[in-house]
């Protein structure tokens, strides 16, 4: 792992880590949606409220299908952005 040595590098590193955490939250939402049956569950409500802004935008762009592919597309977009940020360092 490469650690940044400048202030700009530190900011870029921090942003890339935030993106990775957001990716984890999307994964947690997907897994929770398979398990949680109570819509008033606070953990699922938190995951939904945090991830829905991005997933909702992707869903509006995608054509209607029987399967929600927005988490997969969000995962790839976020990984691409994180890799681009890491390449700046």
Report the pLDDT value the prediction gives residue 81, as an integer from 0 to 100: 92
Specify the pTM: 0.82
Q: Is the dihedral of CA 76, 30, 26, 24 positive or negative?
A: negative
Q: Quote the mean pLDDT of the chain.
A: 87
**Is there a domain that residue 17 lies in?**
no
Distances (CA, A) of 67 to 32, 46, 56, 62, 70: 17, 23, 14, 11, 9
Q: Give the pLDDT confidence score for residue 46 in this predicted structure.
A: 93
Residue 15 within any structural domain of the chain: no
Structural domain includes residue 9: no
What 8-state DSSP symbol labels residue 63?
Answer: P
Q: How many folded domains does the chain comprise?
A: 1
């Amino acid at each position: 792992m490469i650690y940044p040595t400048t202030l700009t590098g530190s900011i870029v590193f921090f942003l890339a880590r935030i993106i990775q955490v957001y990716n984890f939250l999307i994964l947690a939402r997907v897994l929770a949606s398979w398990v949680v049956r109570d819509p008033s569950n606070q953990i699922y409500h938190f995951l939904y409220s945090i991830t829905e802004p991005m997933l909702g935008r992707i869903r509006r762009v995608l054509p209607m299908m029987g399967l929600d592919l927005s988490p997969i597309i969000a995962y790839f977009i976020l990984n691409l952005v994180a890799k681009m940020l890491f390449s700046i360092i």
